Chains A and B, each alone.
Chain A
């Protein structure tokens, strides 16, 4: 039987829940957290880090750590918001 899940794609955190027996149950992530930070990091070894792990290394790898990309979803490449983010990324490199 197919299941119904709900995804809260937040600017800062994401959360996924499943409808089970008429009740909503939040799915925990690998670390056991009910919410996952909306952060993605790319290391020098081309390893992709997601969530809490990516957030922990953001200070040491700020140039390759993306956060709050929800603000850019659906926007055009030459929109002011995307341009501001690009300028910010250039400063970190």
Chain B
């Protein structure tokens, strides 16, 4: 920017300004002549009562809140307290409602968690029962068929006592019965039913039921010496335990004999509850 040009502009502004002031003074002097105002004229201003309530909005002083001051630091008055008291009550009520709702929320969450746990347990149990139901029904069916199989085996065993002449008479019939027995065993095997090994095996109460003891030195104690009724199982689940005779030493056998006579075990077991 050129400094010489600025000084010229300022001079021009002062010149125009001085002209306008002269004109203004001349106009005032002309008005004074019309109003007959002289130096002796005294102007009196009548004072009126000032009413604060009727003051216009823009003349009112600015409120402390608009000035950014904390309303709590302002000296309290009755009007301010009247306005804050309901707000405080409302805040207190809202806080109570919040605490109640939080308590309800915790209770509902706990109920929901318990329901979820119960449902999971129910689901797992249902799945487990569903898988076991088939095996159980299969076991029940096989258990009802086992007496038939037992009687068939007894019939075949009794055939060994026949003389050769009688056996020739019933040879074809006997062969047919053997085939039926074999077929029945195959059906049971297809169902997963397997006989429990017993004779010569150590006694295991999970698979065998001891109904008698036998004194013998041929096998170690607690060994199965005879099978009175064959047991069956599906996988590890026992459908019917084998009823067996178990070997025992002389001392323990004596104790067991006394137990049989003194304890009356089966008498107790056969009692009704």
A11 to B272, CA, bound (A): 9
B206, B208, B263, B269: the one contacting A37 at CB < 8 Å is B269
Q: Are B208 and A55 in contact (CB under 8 A)?
A: no
A8 to B269, CA, bound (A): 16
A12, A32, A59, A67: the one contacting B210 at CB < 8 Å is A59
Our count of residue pairs bridging A and B at CB distance below 8 angstroms stands at: 75
B159 within 8 A of A: no
Residues of B within 8 A of A79 (CB): none
Q: Are B269 and A67 in contact (CB under 8 A)?
A: yes
A41, A49, A56, A88: the one contacting B209 at CB < 8 Å is A56
Task: Flag A1-17 by CB within 8 Å of B: 1 or 0 each.
Answer: 10000001011110000
Residue of A12, A37, A59, A91 with highest tally of chain B CB at under 10 A: A59
Residues of B within 8 A of A93 (CB): 255
Instruction: Given A67-B268, A91-B258, check contact A60 B213 (CB 8 Å).
Output: yes
Residues of A within 8 A of B248 (CB): 60
A62 within 8 A of B: yes
A53, A60, A68, A88: the one contacting B206 at CB < 8 Å is A53
- Output the least CB separation between A75 and chain B (Å): 17
- Output the least CB separation between A63 and chain B (Å): 6
Instruction: Given A59-B256, A62-B255, check contact A1 B118 (CB 8 Å).
Output: yes
Q: Are B269 and A12 in contact (CB under 8 A)?
A: yes
Residues of B within 8 A of A8 (CB): 273
A58 within 8 A of B: yes
Residue of B118, B139, B263 with highest tally of chain A CB at under 10 A: B263
Residue of A11, A12, A56, A93 with highest tally of chain B CB at under 10 A: A56
Residues of A within 8 A of B212 (CB): 59
- Output the least CB separation between A51 and chain B (Å): 10
| Interface of A (DSSP majority class) | mixed
Interface residues of A in 20-79 (CB under 8 A from B): 31-32, 37, 41, 49, 53-60, 62-63, 67-68
Q: Are B211 and A59 in contact (CB under 8 A)?
A: yes
B259 within 8 A of A: yes
A8 to B272, CA, bound (A): 13
- Output the least CB separation between A13 and chain B (Å): 5
A37 to B273, CA, bound (A): 10
Residue of A32, A49, A58 with highest tally of chain B CB at under 10 A: A58
Q: Are A59 and B237 in contact (CB under 8 A)?
A: no
Residues of B within 8 A of A58 (CB): 210, 265
- Output the least CB separation between A43 and chain B (Å): 9
A57 to B209, CA, bound (A): 6
- Give B residues with C-beta under 8 Å from A: 114-115, 118, 136, 139, 203, 205-206, 208-213, 222, 237-238, 241, 246, 248, 252, 255-256, 258-260, 262-263, 265, 268-269, 271-273
10 A-B residue pairs with Cβ-Cβ distance under 8 Å, sorted by A, are A10-B273, A53-B205, A57-B205, A58-B265, A60-B246, A60-B256, A62-B265, A92-B255, A92-B258, A93-B255
